Amino acid sequence: MGRVGAAGDNAAMESFFALLQKNVLDRRPWTTREELRIAIVTWIERTYHRRRRQAPLGRLNPVEYELIMLPTATNAA
């Protein structure tokens, strides 16, 4: 986290929560908090982290990066 009032941090979190609301919270009514918690964790682990392109990975998503790096790691061993 950056300092108080850092626009970059706020923008990133606002973007994340907008996606979370659109893709999980507003999809249907939730009967229990546990059901919603599981849906949020599932969305983050299965969709958000696996499909989101990441700057440290050369603008690849983690799955694409692993596919590229796997042969390199195998050859190095």
Q: Which amino acid is at 43?
A: W
Strand partners, 60: 54
Q: What pLDDT, in 10s, does the model give residues 15-70? A: 889 989 999 999 999 999 999 999 999 998 888 777 777 777 888 877 788 888 87
Cα–Cα distance, 57 to 75 (Å, whole number): 20
**pTM, entire model:** 0.60
* φ/ψ (deg, to 5) at 3: -75, 170
Chain length of the chain: 77
